[in-house]
Every structure is written in C-alpha cells, then in structure tokens.
A and B are shown apart, each in its own frame.
Chain A
Amino acid sequence: MSEVAVISTFGNDDDCARGILALHHARIHDFRAFFPFPSEKIIEAVNHVRGWGRSPVRYWQLFGGIIGVLSAIALTFGTSWEWNLIVGGRPIISVPPYIVIMFELMILIGGLSGLTGFFLHSRMPVFDPLPGYRSRFNEDKFGLVVECDETAASRIESVLRDAGAEEVTREALEPVRDNH
C-alpha cells in the first residue's frame, strides 16, 4: 500500500488548532503542525493531543547550570589550593569573591547546554524539507500534515476540510520516512 501525506493549509491559528482537535477526535494522532509564529492556541492543542508537558530543554539548562557552578568551584578552590599564596591578608579560600565566578559559569554553561538541548530535541539541523512542508508555513499560513495509507486519506481530508482548512492536497511519500 502506498503512503501519502495529506497537506492542509489554514488561514489562521484558530482554525489550525481546531483541525488538530478534529484529528484527535477522529483518532488520528500521527500528524505534524507547521506554523509561522509560536501560537499559544496551536501549542496548547498539540500538547493536549500528544499529552506533552513542558519541553525537556529545561533539564539541559538546569544540569548545565549545576555543572557550571561545580566547574567554578573546582577552578577557584583548586587553583587557590595549588597556588596557596596569601594576598592582602585574606584567606586562601575566599568564598564570597568566588561566588561571582560561580554565577558567571553557571549562566555560561547553563545557556550553552540549553542551546544544545534545543538542537537535539528539535532534531536540528534539518538538511531536507520534511514531507508536506511548504514555504508559506513560515510566512502566513498554518499547516497540518498527516502521513497515512492512501486508503485513509479521503477520510482525513474530509476531517480537515470540516475543521476549516482553506486547501487540502495530497502528496505521494518517498519509501523512507522521516519521523519528525
């Protein structure tokens, strides 16, 4: 059985969110939404349908921040022990000034780690357009793409049209699928 991508185009985020919920009610869960700006309505609908919580990128940032603080402790304490020269009569380990270094490295490593998490979880960089992607989805249109068997395509097209899609088209898929 050949596989196709049913590509629906919506004029606004309300209709697109409605389309997502309509697919959910029709028990169609294997879809992908494209939208030109972070629409709360679409994101809420997607989270509801997929059962997603908050993005795991936050853990990357948290652990990066912790690693940053630990690195700063290692750097400042370790260096002071290694070169234990008394400066200005102050203790070898002077914690208050080291807090500045700990703070800065927490931000630095936490930020870079969050960025790494973002790229990994978003599966970026992407070198080829995903099935059903249209350039207008980055401009002014909202898209819902469902990959399915050709036999199920008609039902999905009808669900999407009923939800308010401006245009619904069908595209044959390559045999190898990308699961983005």
Chain B
Amino acid sequence: MAAAVETDLQPRYIDVDRQVQRAMAPGGLTYWLWVLFCAFLTALGIGFWTNQVYKGLGVTGLTEPTMWAPYITNFVFWVGIAHSGTLISAILFLFRTRWRTAIYRCAETMTVFAVATAGLFPLIHLGRLWFFYFVVPYPNERYLQPDFRSPLVWDFFAIGTYLTISTVFLFTGLIPDCANAREVATGWRKTLYSIFSFGWQGTDRQWRNFQMVYLLLAGFATPLVLSVHSVVSWDFAMTQLPGWHSTIFAPYFVAGAIFSGCALVLTLIIPIRKFWRLEDVVTIWHLDNLAKIVLFTSLIITYSYSVESFMVWYSQDPLELATFHQRYFGPQGYFFWIMVVCNCVIPLLLFSPRVRTNTVWLFIISIFVNIGMWLERFVIIAGSLATNTMPSQWRFYTPHVTEIVITAASFGWFLMNFSLFAKFMPIVSMTEMKEGISWLRQAVRTRYPYRKAA
C-alpha cells in the first residue's frame, strides 16, 4: 500500500527531464513571429538611437531642468526588475525554500538580461557616446578626476559587479542542466550544451565543489541585491534636490525592486508554462507563493509612499511641500495617482486566494504592477527634477517620439533575449527539481505530512 501511494504521488526523475526538454524543442511559427516582433522593436530603437547620436540630444524632450527623465527612469526600472531574480535564486536558496526550484532559473535569466538592458541606458543618455570611456573611473593621465565619493561612480562598480556575479551565478547553475541536455541533443545544439557544461559528468568531486561554489555565490549575491539598489537610490538621495533627498530611499527602492521584479517573473512565467506546457513543473502553488511576495512588497511600498509624504508634511520645508504638491496635484499629477492605483490598490486583490490561483488574474495584475513601477520611477525622477529649488526654472518634461521608441525598444530587446535564451537553455532547473523529488520520496517514506512535504 505504501509503495502504491509512493508511486501515485511521485513523478520520476526522467519525467522532469522530458518536460523541460520538451520546452526546449524547436519553436513554432508563433514563437518565431514573437521573436521577430521583438527584434523589429529593437531595430527601430537602434535606428532612433543612431539618429539621436547623429543629431544630438535635441531630438529628445530632454531639456533643463529635466535632463534625466525617461532614460534614467528606464535604467532604474530595469535594474529594479533584476533584483527579484537574485532574491528568488540566491536568498530563497539560502533559506532552503523549496518552491523556488521551478521558477528560479526564469528569474535569474530575467536578472541577467534586465541588468544588460539597464546598462545600455547610461550610454543612450550620453550625448556624445564616443566619450563613454571618460566615465570609467580609473587612474589616468588626462587630468580626469575619478571621484570615488560620487554615487555615480559607486553605481558603475555596483552595476558592473551585479551583472558579472548574476551572469556567473546563472551559468554556474546551468552547468549540470546543460550536461543533461547535451546527452539528448544533436547537431549544433549538442555543441552548444557541451560548451556550457564544460564536460560536466556529475562525479562526486564535481558535485562537492559545485555545491560549495553555488552556496558561496548565493551568499555573495544576497548582500549584493541590497547594495546595488541602495546605491542606485543614492544616485538621487545623496543630492539636495527636493523629492530626492530622503533617508527612506534605499529600503524603499529595494522593496520596489523586488515588487516589480516578482511581478515581471509572473508576467514571463505564466505564458511560458501555458505555451510550453510546463503546468506540471511550474504549478499554481509556485505562482501563489510568488503572488504572496508581490502582495507583501506592495504593502511595504504603500507604507513607504505614506511615510515619504508624512515626512514632507512634518518637516514643513516649503520646497519639499511645493514639490510634493506638484507631484500630487500638478499638471502631471495623474501619473502619481495611476501609480498609486497600480502599486497600492490593484495588488490588494491578491489577498484573495482565488485571484492568487487564477493565472489570468495574476497576469493582468502583474502587468499593472509593472506599469505602476515604471511610473513610480518616472514620477520620482522627472517630477522632482521639474520642480527643483529654483521655481523660475520649473518645467515639466514632455516626451518626444525618440524616447518613446527607445523605451519600447528596451522591452523588445529584453523580451527578444529572454525568449531566445528560454528556448535554447533549460528554463527550469532539472537538477533541483530532481532533488525536490528525492526529498519528497523521503518525506513520504517517513510519513511526513504530505502538505508540508509538497
């Protein structure tokens, strides 16, 4: 009887391989049309960027005092998106949270491509791109002062480290799975997986070192998550500008980053599990847990908005009051209220277990959260710059077609890279899923309560 229960409850190791490998099968027409659409958006953005480089920043709506408007908004948005990937893969790994196994690869992939996308925006924002190397802080003989006291220099180090460590973390985790894929692949795919598996054969020596390096990379990545978005927030908070100069920015940005990132994981994983038939691997239980994180971080964000407003009111600083008055009731006040609805009101639906276990609702809510979080960055950056300490300079930013297209292209670029990677690489970690099955078998054998074991 016990054996029968065991058989019913447990998938075999090979089932995991087959399901994930099925998702890696050559894409159909719909898949390639989608990739082509994303590539078209990217190409359009490259065209507009080329025009901007050729003609100068005058083709954009960027002008004094809002020189940082959409491009830096995109930069902060994409860096923020990246954070939940590391949260899910590294922090939840350290806490031995079992539900992460089915979704962490997707989140890690999202992290790497989101940071790569974010890294483009400081370049796009530069008028004279060919002088980029002036920004790189290294000792030089051109009398360029590398000022390590500047948060912009911290940012350079933080983003560079984050991109490198996230990529290393992703590709280290991929080694055993690529070895698995190598065994069944043929042709150029076999070569691809052979390269990325580095000849992995799963020996005791390899696993022993793999476990240690993976644990330590997770340990290193965890404080990195907190540091990188704190550093990004200090790009703003270290200045004296009303609306930016606030001590709450670091935790507020970190919570916002996890909020938006988890929402984007939902946006990406829900279509993947449906179209590539991964419902048995990425279950409603996984989505439910992810939705709970989105709900929790939404509450933190709501609290942060309230505290920020309270501190402004309590300080009675006239410039801060004026900035926040403009933010709420100024000519672009509707952005703030859309943001509040998207980030604070709509996620409250996730209190309902029915909503949390309905993929259509989750997908729609995740889209709203991402719209809200993009607007949050826009409101903070463009809104605060527009109402600086000189009221005579106040001017609200109006986007031109160049920034709109380049912003859309960043989504196209991200989604194109993500879609290609998800098709050609194992988007679910087969080794960790098998580890979960082994753990489940052990739990059933020792009559551990099934709900806990699951």
Residues of A within 8 A of B (CB): 12-13, 32-39, 42-43, 46-47, 52, 54-55, 57-58, 61, 75-76, 78-80, 82-83, 85, 87-88, 90, 94, 97-98, 100-101, 103-105, 107-108, 110-112, 114-115, 117-119, 121-130, 133, 135, 137-140, 180
Contact = CB atoms under 8 A, between A and B. Distances in A.
Contacts of A94: 148-149
Contacts of B183: 135, 138-139
Contacts of B204: 32-35, 42-43, 46
B205 A122 contact: yes
Contacts of B212: 54-55, 57-58, 118
Contacts of B438: 12-13, 37, 39
Contact of B209 (A55, A97, A140): A55
A117 B213 contact: yes
A10 to B, nearest CB: 12
B179 interface: yes
B206 A79 contact: no
Contacts of B180: 36, 138-139
11 contacts: A32-B203, A37-B432, A38-B207, A76-B148, A82-B139, A83-B145, A101-B154, A107-B223, A108-B165, A126-B201, A139-B180
B148 to A, nearest CB: 5
B280 interface: no
Contact of B210 (A38, A88, A130): A38
Nearest to B215: A58
> Which A-B residue pairs are the 10 nearest by beta carbons?
A126-B199, A55-B212, A140-B13, A135-B183, A118-B213, A125-B198, A104-B157, A37-B434, A108-B161, A33-B204
A13 B445 CA distance: 14
Contacts of A88: 149
Interface residues of B, number: 57
A97 to B, nearest CB: 4
B451 interface: no
B213 A110 contact: no
Contacts of B12: 140
B227 to A, nearest CB: 6
Contact of B161 (A78, A104, A114): A104
Contact of B158 (A78, A97, A104): A104
Chain B CB within 10 A, most for which of A33, A52, A54, A118: A118
A83 B223 contact: no
Given A82-B139, A138-B183, A139-B13, A123 B148 contact: no
A74 B144 CA distance: 18
Contact of A127 (B199, B431, B435, B441): B199
Contacts of B227: 100, 103-104
Interface in B193-239: 198-213, 216-217, 220, 223-224, 227, 231
Chain B CB within 10 A, most for which of A35, A57, A104: A104
A61 B216 CA distance: 8
Contacts of A180: 203, 205
B199 A118 contact: no
A79 B143 CA distance: 11
